[in-house]
Amino acid sequence: MSVEVLNRIGGVPTKSSSPVFERRNPARWSEVVSTAPESSVDDVRAAVDAAADALAKWRATTPTQRADILTKASRILAARAEETAAEMVREEGKPFADALNEASRTPKNLELYAGEAYRLTGATFPSDDTPLVYSVLDPVGVVAVITPWNFPLNMASRKIGPALAAGNTVVFKPSPMTPLMGERLASAFVEAGVPDGVISVVHGFAAGAHLVADDRVAAVTFTGSTATGRKIHSAVGLGRRVQLELGGKNPVVVLADADLDAAAQVVARSSFSLTGQACTGAGRILVDASIHDELLARVVKLAENYVLGPGDAAGVTMGPLVDDNALAAMDAAVSMAVGAGAKVACGGSRRSEGALADGWFFPPTVLTDVVPGSALSCNEVFGPVVGFERVNGIDEAIASANNVEFGLSAAVCTRNLAAAQRCAAEIQAGMVRINRPTVGAAFNAPFGGIKQSGTATHKEQLGPTVMDFYTVMRTVWLGN
C-alpha cells in the first residue's frame, strides 16, 4: 500500500498544488511505497515563513521545555522502531536488521541532544577594565536540514536534534528517495509537542535548492554528495553558515603483517555493508603486494557468501541498490575499470534471477589490478564495487591512501602498533580505524570528513564542538 506523504508547513500536514512524485520499492520496482509533492518555490517559502515566525517564541523556551520535547520524540520513535524499520526496508531497501538498527539508534541520538539543551554554557574572562566579561550561546535562527537517503532517520536526527536543543527552528528537506521516513521522523516531533512552526518539512528534488536560496535561512546543514555540496557551498554567502558532510573514496590499508582472516572481514564489511551505499564504505583496498593474493582469496570467499534479496526476506544479507541510476553507475564503474586494465575477481554484473527480477540487485564485486589514478581508484562509486591495488610497504600505502581528493574514513589492518600509529597520524581522513571497518559511527563521538569530504569546520554527532554549528557565541562586557 502506498502512503501519501504531504509537506508539513509549520508542522501541519499541508496539501501542495505542485505535482507529486512516486518512490518505489528498490527490491520490487512495481510497488509504489510513497508519493510526495515536488515542492515549488512558494511551498518552500511558506515553510521558511513558518520557521521565521516561530523563532522568537521557541528560542525563549527553557532548556527543560526543549529537552522534554526531544525526550518525548525519542520515546515515540523507540516505541515504533519495528514498524518504521519495516517501512524503511520497503522505501530505502536495506535489510530489516540494518533498518531496525537505524530505527533504534535514532531515538538514542535525540536523548543525547536533549541533554545538550542544558549544556549551552558560556565562559567568564578575567578583565582589566570591567568587573565581568562573559560569553553566551544564542541560537543561529532558521536552520535548513538537507539529508540523503542512505540513513534517512539517523542523519536527519543528528541535525534536527541539536538544532532544536539550541533553540533554532528547522525546515527539513528529506531525500526524495525516502519521503516517508522524513515524515515518520518529523511527525514524532510534532506528536511530542513541538510548537507550530518550529519544524516544517518540504519534499522534492528541487526543494533543497529553493531552501538554500532563501536568505532567511541562517544555517544549512547538509549531508550528501560532494557534487551537491559544492553547489550549496557556493550558494551560501557571507553571513550564513554551512555544514557539509560529503562523499568519500575510503581506503582499507592492509600491511604485510596483518592478520589476514581478520583483515578480510574488515575489507568485506567496509566494502559491502549496506550494499556499499555508506558514505564511509571502502572503495579502495591498498594491500601489500606480499600478501595480495592470500587476502584476495579470502575476500572473494566472503563476498560470495552474501545473500542478495529484498530486505524483508529471511536470510538476506544484502539488499538492492537504491534505484536504476545506481545500477547503471555500477555497470559503468566496472566497464571503465576493466577498460583501464582491471580484472573482475567476483561479481561484476547485475543479478536478476528469480526473486531478484523486479529489483536493482548488484552483487559484491571485487576488481583487481586497478590502475592508480584511474576513475575507480579516485571516484566514489556508492555501491558494492571495490578495487584492489598493490602497494609496497607503509610509505607507499600512506601515499596512495592520500592520493585522492576525499578524506572521510580509512581503515588500517596491522599487528604493528607503531605502524598503526603512523597511519593514524598521516592518513588524511576525518576518521581512521585500526583493525576496524571504515563503516560505522559511535553516536557519542565526533563524525565527519576533511578535504573534499566536508567542511570540517564543525563535526556532527557528539564531541566538544557538536553544538558550535547551531549556536552563535556573543561576548558581554558588564560594567557597574
Catalytic residues: 245, 279
Residue nearest to ligand NAD (CB): 208
Q: Which amino acid is at 58?
A: W
> Which residues, listed in sequence order, are joined to residue 288 by a DSSP beta bridge?
391
Q: In what order do the strands lie in the sheet with 132-139?
A: 124-125, 132-139, 471-478
Rounded Cα distance, 52 and 186, in Å: 18
Place of cell 515524515: 183
Q: In what order do the strands lie in the sheet with 28-37?
A: 3-4, 28-37, 20-25
**Could you tell me the smallest distance in angstroms from the CB atom of residue 409 to ligand NAD?**
9
**What is the chain's alpha carbon radius of gyration, rounded to the nearest angstrom?**
23
Place of cell 563476498: 303
Assign residue 440 a region (left: φ > 0; alpha: ψ between -120 and 50; beta: otherwise).
left
Q: Cα–Cα distances in Å, from 217 out to 16, 51, 209, 213, 423?
A: 21, 9, 12, 8, 40
**Could you tell me the smallest distance in angstroms from the CB atom of residue 332 to ligand NAD?**
16
Q: Cα–Cα distances in Å, from 124 out to 127, 186, 279?
A: 9, 37, 40
Q: Which three cell numbers stand for residue 88?
A: 524503511
Q: Is 223 exposed, middle or buried (0-12, 13-18, 19+ CB in 10 A)?
A: buried
Rounded Cα distance, 460 and 449, in Å: 10
Q: Considering the complex, state which of residue 247 and residue 311 has its C-beta at the smaller distance from ligand NAD.
A: 247
Q: Cα–Cα distances in Å, from 117 out to 29, 107, 172, 199?
A: 43, 16, 20, 17
**Could you tell me the smallest distance in angstroms from the CB atom of residue 377 to ligand NAD?**
17
Check: CB of residue 306 under 8 Å from CB of residue 272: yes
**DSSP label at residue 371:** P
**Could you tell me the smallest distance in angstroms from the CB atom of residue 203 to ligand NAD?**
9
Q: Considering the complex, state which of residue 54 and residue 439 has its C-beta at the smaller distance from ligand NAD.
A: 439
Q: Considering the complex, state which of residue 223 and residue 400 has its C-beta at the smaller distance from ligand NAD.
A: 223
Q: Considering the complex, state which of residue 40 and residue 368 has its C-beta at the smaller distance from ligand NAD.
A: 40
**Could you tell me the smallest distance in angstroms from the CB atom of residue 158 to ligand NAD?**
9
Q: Considering the complex, state which of residue 244 and residue 256 has its C-beta at the smaller distance from ligand NAD.
A: 244
Under the rule (CB under 6 A), what is the footprint of ligand NAD?
Answer: 146-150, 173, 175-176, 205, 208-209, 212, 223-225, 228, 231-232, 245-248, 279, 380, 382, 408, 449, 454
**Could you tell me the smallest distance in angstroms from the CB atom of residue 415 to ligand NAD?**
30
Q: Considering the complex, state which of residue 419 and residue 431 has its C-beta at the smaller distance from ligand NAD.
A: 431
Closest alpha carbon to 27 in 277, 357, 273:
357
**Could you tell me the smallest distance in angstroms from the CB atom of residue 114 to ligand NAD?**
22
Q: Considering the complex, state which of residue 33 and residue 408 has its C-beta at the smaller distance from ligand NAD.
A: 408
